[in-house]
Amino acid sequence: MSLMKSFATGAVAALMATAAYAECEISSGNVNVLANDFPALKAITETAAECASGGATVSANHNKDFRNITVQALTPNPAEYTSVVVANSSIVPLLNEGLLRPLDDLVAKHGQGIPKNQLITIDGKIMAIAFMANAQHLFLRQDILDQIGKPAPATWEEVAETAQAIKDAGIMDHPFAFLSMSDWNLGEEFVNMYLGHGGEFFKPGTAEPAINNELGVATLNMLKELVALSNPDFLTYNTATVVPIWKSGDLAIAQLWGSSGGELLSGEGAEEGVAENTVLVGAPTVAGGSTPASSLWWDGFTIAKNISDEDAEATFLAMMHGISDKMVEANNDAAVWLMDSYTPGLAAAGVAQTAAAGAEPYPMLPYMGLLHQAVFEELPDFLQGNESAEKTLADIEAAYVAAAQEAGYL
Amino acid sequence: MKHRTFFWFILPSLAAMFFFIALPIVSVAVQSLFVEHEQIMTEVENCGPFKCETVLQVDTEATAALQEEAPLGRFNGLGTYTNRKHLAFKEVGVAWDETETLGEFMSELINLPFYKALFFTLTYTAVVTPFVIFLGLGVALAVNTLPRIVKGPTIFVSLLPMIVTPLIGALILFWMVDADGIIGATLQRIFNDPNLSLKASTPLTWMMLIVYGIWSSTPFSFIVFYAGLQTVPSETLEAAKIDGASRWQAIRYVVVPYMMPLVVFITLMQLMDNFRVFEPIISFSASAKATSLSWIIFNDLRGGDIQLFGSAGATSILTILGVAILLSPVLIRTWRDFNRKRA
């Protein structure tokens, strides 16, 4: 019976897929997409692949390390890929090298319906079409908060207090976690917390660093207070580490990417009672500020400069089909989509609240990546208690300056 | 062999070495002398889903024109070698002037990325190399005395650490030492300390990396020594026995001197390999506690969105110099021995 059932479902799916083919037909051209590797992006490229029925070729390469090869892949003429799916930070190297094609003509011709908030414009030219938003925000275990009788924390100070209360009540030894692995992740936590304090990363109009100040010290002290409530292994914690710990029920409060929400709410592979009690709320504020201590991210597609106009048009059409309403409806909970047809579900609550509370977008500056890197190279020394906050901030600035001089920004 | 025949015989390998080793090294050395062009920046308005803001952006046309003129970038001489990311002459000078005790100076020095990495790299090399040699010899001697029937399987098992891909081997160990892993949990029980974590403490992380290094390299020295043992002349060993030498004496005075060339060979290989320690740092996510020169190169190229080729090149050249310095005593000794024998 169940076999028959799955067979029938398969047949229906196949029929629907065939029907869908008719919606997008591109007669010629090559479409080759380079993208990060997570389910939401795969949903897009798989939908875009339907456009191959008309004679065009559509292929995609999903790779976690995609950002390391984007520049090399788009530099030759013709470029290796016709489109790269980027985010705030990974678009920067491509812009620096001038490897992206302005999309104004294509948008005028085929993309009239795209809402303005999806257009990423730089100096008046459309350089990317954004389709999803992401941000780090709080994940809470309602049952544990009820147990100690505390409300959902709205500030980082309250997070520390609540976590301490959970610890004192003997419920968990390490109730809190965030993505504090000593790589890009830790840099992102600093960026979030510093934005929450209202800090500026650079002296206005220059690439000179400006983080060695009171706000920087406050940021570092807050991070140190939080890691004390996290597992001593915190310097090895990334999404892949924290998500399973959450599922096993050993965490009460965590700051994770919104894109983990769908998985954690679905309860797949989780202990009983964990998923039901998982609540997603916006990122907290800090130090009496009003901006959430988090940064907003978008993911969007770009089109390579060094390809023929024909391929560019085919790519644009295929990617537009990839982010069409049909894809959104089929994958509504896979991400926080920016398209109008998206119905925000529970998994989107955290990102939506964070954005609504006015969180800052991650700075799209050519030299931001260098500062981000300098932060995670030098910050572990402070978090492990080896040196003072001022010394660490001075080290971060010195490391950044050396790198920025080499890269030609200073 | 005639010189001519020898030349033709070795030409393919020479050519391969020239094209795939010598030329890339020259290229790396040249790149390390250059830094990127000055990036010409303009103020532009960026708009995204969240807001619009005025920011600096690279003027690609103007920068491309500079690039066209001098594709390698700006000549920086040895500037990259002496900056804070590498030998940090200025910072070391300041530290020397401002600190009073040697201990303070050392802690300032270790705070600089290059010296921090060098400190771990040298410790790792200095500990792992002798362990690998002694353990390898010990295992080889032990296996050699086994009855023929169990020899094959034992050799296979002893070689496993070398057969397993280094990255995978290190990852497996990393999961085992996790607080919930078999080794980590057992250690917590033995020491009765629920907060004991091999990943959280710097000395324990260093030990873990060193133990991994010994575990993964010992099979190499074992198999070389084992092959060497098969060629130890049995007459000499028997003569030693007749003269009343114990097993230990036979090893000390017959086997070990006979295997000396192999010890030199393994020392050379191990010094080179260990100085370039890399995989365990990545697999153990240990970069917050231990970095190596190879990790710095990796971080320059893969750590962020912007690749620093000059920096990576400079560290590569410094690594080659480091290996050369480490190997020089062994090489000089070998050269002397060689000359003595010829004379």
The verdict on residue B167 lying in a domain is: yes
The verdict on residue B332 lying in a domain is: no
Q: Does A384 touch chain B (CB under 8 A)?
A: yes
Which two structure tokens, joined as six digits, stand for B203? 């000395």
Handedness of CA B282, B285, B286, B291 (dihedral sign): positive
Q: What is the pLDDT of residues A257-311, one digit of tens each?
A: 998 888 899 888 889 999 999 999 999 999 999 999 999 999 999 999 999 999 9
Regions of chain B where pLDDT drops below 70:
1, 343
Residue of A96, A27, A285 lying closest to B37 (CA atoms): A96
Q: Is the predicted pLDDT of residue A3 greater than 70, yes or no?
A: no
Do the bridges between strand A119-122 and strand A253-257 make them parallel or antiparallel, or are there none, so unpaired? unpaired
Q: Does A250 touch chain B (CB under 8 A)?
A: no
Instruction: Given CATH 3.40.309.10, say whether it is the number of domain A136-295+363-407.
Output: no
Flag if B50 and A338 touch (Cβ within 8 Å). no
Element (H, E) at A278: strand A278-281
Residue B166 to residue B209: CA distance in whole angstroms: 12
Burial (CB < 10 A; 0-12, 13-18, 19+), residue A387, is: middle
3-class secondary-structure state, position A362: coil
DSSP code at position B39? P
Do the beta carbons of residue A301 and residue A101 sit within 8 Å? no
Q: Is it true that the peptide bond before B280 is cis, omega within 30 degrees of 0? A: no
**Nearest C-alpha of chain B: how many angstroms from A399?**
7
Q: Is it true that the peptide bond before A78 is cis, omega within 30 degrees of 0? A: yes
Q: What is the pLDDT of residues B11-49, one digit of tens each?
A: 999 999 999 999 999 999 999 999 988 888 888 888 888
Handedness of CA A307, A311, A316, A320 (dihedral sign): negative
Residue identified by tokens 């036979």 is B250
**A108 backbone dihedrals φ, ψ, rounded to 5°:** -60, -35
Which residue in A has a C-alpha nearest to residue B60's C-alpha? A98
pLDDT band at A8, cuts 50/70/90? very low
Beta bridge partners of A254: A139, A177
> What residues have CB less than 8 Å from B306, skipping those under 6 apart?
A93, A96, A367, A369, A370, A373, A403, A407
The predicted pLDDT at position B1 comes to 67
For residue B155, the domain's CATH number is: 1.10.3720.10
Flag if A96 and B48 touch (Cβ within 8 Å). no
Q: Does A294 touch chain B (CB under 8 A)?
A: no
Q: What is the pLDDT of residues A211-261, one digit of tens each?
A: 999 999 999 999 999 999 998 889 999 998 999 999 999 999 999 999 888
3-class secondary-structure state, position B44: strand
ipTM over 0.95: no
The verdict on residue B22 lying in a domain is: no
Q: To probe the interface with A, which of B298, B306, B309 has the most A CB atoms within 10 Å?
A: B306
The predicted pLDDT at position A21 comes to 42
Q: Is the predicted pLDDT of residue A19 greater than 90, yes or no?
A: no
Percentage with pLDDT > 70 across chain A: 94
Residue A316 to residue A311: CA distance in whole angstroms: 8
Residue A67 to residue B280: CA distance in whole angstroms: 23
Do the beta carbons of residue A70 and residue A84 sit within 8 Å? yes
Of A68, A122, A407, nearest to B308 by CB-CB distance is: A407
Handedness of CA A21, A25, A31, A35 (dihedral sign): negative
Residue identified by tokens 């890339």 is B24
pTM of the shown model: 0.89
Q: What is the pLDDT of residues A370-398, one digit of tens each?
A: 999 999 999 999 998 889 999 999 999 99
Burial (CB < 10 A; 0-12, 13-18, 19+), residue A152, is: middle
Residue of A218, A274, A215 lying closest to A249 (CA atoms): A274
The arithmetic mean of pLDDT across residues A188-214, rounded, is 94
The verdict on residue B64 lying in a domain is: no
Beta bridge partners of A120: A128
Q: Does A358 touch chain B (CB under 8 A)?
A: no
Which two structure tokens, joined as six digits, stand for A407? 């890269």
Residue of A282, A315, A325 lying closest to A196 (CA atoms): A282
Number of structural domains in chain B: 1
The arithmetic mean of pLDDT across residues A141-159, rounded, is 95
- Number of H-type helices and E-type strands within chain B: 17, 4
**Which residue range(s) make up the domain with B215?**
89-96+99-285
Q: Does A338 touch chain B (CB under 8 A)?
A: yes
Flag if B35 and A67 touch (Cβ within 8 Å). no
**Nearest C-alpha of chain B: how many angstroms from A327?**
20
Residue of A83, A54, A24, A47 lying closest to A331 (CA atoms): A47
Q: Is the predicted pLDDT of residue A11 greater than 70, yes or no?
A: no
Residue A74 to residue B257: CA distance in whole angstroms: 59
Can you spell out the DSSP letters for A323-352? TSHHHHHHTGGGSEE-STT----GGGHHHH
The predicted pLDDT at position B302 comes to 86
CATH superfamily of this structure's domain A25-134+296-351: Periplasmic binding protein-like II (3.40.190.10)
Q: What is the CB-side half-sphere exposure of residue A247 using CA atoms within 13 A?
A: 17
Residue identified by tokens 């390998």 is B13
Of A231, A369, A384, nearest to B304 by CB-CB distance is: A369
Q: What is the pLDDT of residues A33-77, one digit of tens each?
A: 999 988 889 999 999 998 888 788 899 999 888 888 899 999 998
Which two structure tokens, joined as six digits, stand for B202? 């710097």
CATH 3.40.190.10 residue ranges in chain A?
A: 25-134+296-351, 136-295+363-407
Q: To probe the interface with A, which of B180, B305, B308 has the most A CB atoms within 10 Å?
A: B305
Residue of A164, A194, A138 lying closest to A379 (CA atoms): A194
Which two structure tokens, joined as six digits, stand for A344? 């925000």
> What residues have CB less than 8 Å from A82, skipping those under 6 apart?
A30, A31, A32, A33, A303, A304, A307, A311, A312, A314, A315
Do the beta carbons of residue A254 and residue A189 sit within 8 Å? no
Residue A258 to residue A262: CA distance in whole angstroms: 8
Beta bridge partners of B69: none
Give contacts of A183 with chain B, Cβ < 8 Å: 285, 287, 303
The predicted pLDDT at position A16 comes to 43
